[in-house]
């Protein structure tokens, strides 16, 4: 088997990365980067829903060991937590980062240094957490990092609220897509993140992601190299629509889909104001969700030990 080479290195070698950077930055002048389509000129410091201007804002970066096993390995996933968000769920477990803007602005050169420092720490991948609103900035930093020797797989860890037009710019860049599929019901999406179109957008986005990278490929060392890994956070009283989402993944994406059905829901942010989100998930609710996933044809489930928080 030939050694793995990340997609972006091939794209860089072919001279296509510069054009992708140019295309992505052009979108910022009247921002239509995500489904919010705010139309603000971020290059001139205007901000929309994501409250981010020309430069990315980073909250933290480090080797992370709480991700899925195929990402963590022995030395961790190199996570870069981008500040702010285009979705803004009221129950976000990173509320200080996504809603309150904790972090500092970084130039592309600094962002590239972050990627390379995570690689030097031995991380198995570079994991972009909440990257949807900073795609141009990531691409610009990536060009610098490639020239500095970056060679790790890239993980696009998003809320699933991604435009296909933007994802197509990332074709040939991202190795592992790791989106959430949060809600099936438009009413729930409207109530919890003011995005009634979320289910429709997420379905299209996951299809495009899978078109680009296919099912998750795990090498002989147990590490993910390429493919789609979908996360689904189970919510109290079935609010997330787990069964419908699993049916969609099995029938319209792939029966070989790798899925993490997540048990760690707890009330964060403004969730205490919105029953039934004002309580933690019960054991029964979680195991019912796993049962639904298997009944709908999803058998490739992440096997990390579940931790229930009460």
pLDDT digits (tens, 9 = 90+) for 1-28: 568 999 999 999 999 999 999 999 999 9
Gap between the Cα atoms of 199 and 193, Å rounded: 12
Q: Does residue 238 belong to any structural domain of this protein?
A: yes
Find the DSSP H helices in 73-197. 95-98, 108-120, 135-147, 164-169, 186-193
Q: Enter the pTM of the model.
A: 0.96
pLDDT of the residue at 156: 99
Sign of the C-alpha dihedral computed for residues 168, 146, 42 and 128 taken in this order: positive
pLDDT of the residue at 310: 38
- Residue-wise pLDDT tens digits, 72-120: 999 999 999 999 999 999 999 999 999 999 999 999 999 999 999 999 9
Q: Does residue 307 belong to any structural domain of this protein?
A: no
Q: Does residue 232 belong to any structural domain of this protein?
A: yes
Q: Does residue 60 belong to any structural domain of this protein?
A: yes
Q: Does residue 2 belong to any structural domain of this protein?
A: no
Domain count, the chain: 1
pLDDT of the residue at 305: 52
Q: Does residue 196 belong to any structural domain of this protein?
A: yes
- Residue-wise pLDDT tens digits, 174-218: 999 999 999 999 999 999 999 999 999 999 999 999 999 999 999
Q: Does residue 305 belong to any structural domain of this protein?
A: no
> Among 17, 18, 1, 19, which residue's Cα sits nearest to residue 9?
17
What residues make up the domain containing 177? 7-295
Please report, to the nearest 10 degrees, the dihedral formed by the alpha carbons of residues 171, 129, 50, 23 taken in order: -20
């Amino acid at each position: 088997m030939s050694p793995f080479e990340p997609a972006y290195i091939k794209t860089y070698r072919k001279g296509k990365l510069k054009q992708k950077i140019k295309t992505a930055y052009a979108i910022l002048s009247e921002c239509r980067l995500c489904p919010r389509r705010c139309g603000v000129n971020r290059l001139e410091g205007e901000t929309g829903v994501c409250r981010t201007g020309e430069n990315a804002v980073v909250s933290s970066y480090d080797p992370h060991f709480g991700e899925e096993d195929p990402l963590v390995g022995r030395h961790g996933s190199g996570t870069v937590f981008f500040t702010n968000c285009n979705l803004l769920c009221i129950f976000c477990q990173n509320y200080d980062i996504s809603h309150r803007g904790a972090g500092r602005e970084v130039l592309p050169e600094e962002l590239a240094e972050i990627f390379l420092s995570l690689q030097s720490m031995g991380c198995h991948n570079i994991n972009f957490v909440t990257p949807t609103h900073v795609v141009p900035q990531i691409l610009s930093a990536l060009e610098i990092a490639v020239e500095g020797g970056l060679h790790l797989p890239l993980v696009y860890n998003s809320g699933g609220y991604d435009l296909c037009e933007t994802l197509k710019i990332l074709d040939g860049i991202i190795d592992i897509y790791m989106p959430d599929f949060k809600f099936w019901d438009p009413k729930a999406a409207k109530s919890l993140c003011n995005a009634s179109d979320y289910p429709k957008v997420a379905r299209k986005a996951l299809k495009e992601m899978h078109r680009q990278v296919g099912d998750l490929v795990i090498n002989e060392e147990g590490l993910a190299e390429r493919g789609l890994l979908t996360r689904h956070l189970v919510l109290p009283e079935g609010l997330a629509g787990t069964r419908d989402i699993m049916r969609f993944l099995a029938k319209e994406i792939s029966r070989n889909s790798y899925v993490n059905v997540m048990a760690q829901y707890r009330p964060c942010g403004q969730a205490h104001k919105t029953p039934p989100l004002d309580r933690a998930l019960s054991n029964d609710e979680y195991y019912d969700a796993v049962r639904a996933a298997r009944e709908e044809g999803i058998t490739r489930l992440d096997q990390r030990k579940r931790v229930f928080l009460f």
